[in-house]
Amino acid sequence: MPSILVLSGPNLNLLGTRQPEVYGTTRLADIEDACRAHGKALGFDVVAAQSNHEGALVDSLHEARLVHSGVVLNAGAYTHTSIALRDAISSIDIPVIEVHLSNIHARESFRHTSMIAGVAAGQIAGFGTDSYVLGVEAIVRLVRAGNPSA
């Protein structure tokens, strides 16, 4: 079965208790379960990973290119700062969808800039857990558009 990597960056391990007024009370494990269920319904395995470390996220993107059909990436605050993540996305030939729980464009101005948006296949922001699930959906659609038998 084809597979998708759902990759989360710094501080997202604390979802559920982290700033619930911004991010809600759903835990990352529950978001990942929702992605697994949606992926399974569409015939895709979903593998989830999280790291607070920029280099580890770069490593995960490199490894994903050999194993997965695409990546749903919530890079957290590295979204706004990391040229290394941008370069990693540019260096792999599978689609990456940038996702955010919150609408980064409606928040502080430093969150309006994404270092990775220009090299991602697309960006989904502001739908809470559904941002991740919609990211899975987007990868499936992109993969099927390139390979109708997938």
Q: Is 39 in the site for ligand DQA (CB under 6 A)?
A: no
- Given the residues 23, 38, 68, 78, select the one marked as catalytic: 23
The helix (H) or strand (E) run that includes residue 66 is: helix 54-67
How many amino acids of this chain bind ligand DQA (CB under 6 A)?
A: 10
Return the range that interacts with ligand DQA (CB under 6 A); candidates 28-36, 81-89, 95-103, 133-141: 95-103
The site string for ligand DQA over 47-76 (x = CB under 6 A, - otherwise) reads ---------------------------x-x
Close Cβ partners of 80 (under 8 Å, ≥ 6 residues apart): 110, 111, 113, 114, 115
Residue 78 is a catalytic residue: no
Residue 68 is a catalytic residue: no
Q: Is 11 in the site for ligand DQA (CB under 6 A)?
A: yes
CA distance 81 to 75: 10
Q: Is 102 in the site for ligand DQA (CB under 6 A)?
A: yes
For residue 59, the minimal CB distance to ligand DQA (Å) is 20
CA distance 22 to 47: 26
72 neighbors 31 (Cβ within 8 angstroms): no
For 49, phi and psi rounded to 5 degrees? -145, 155
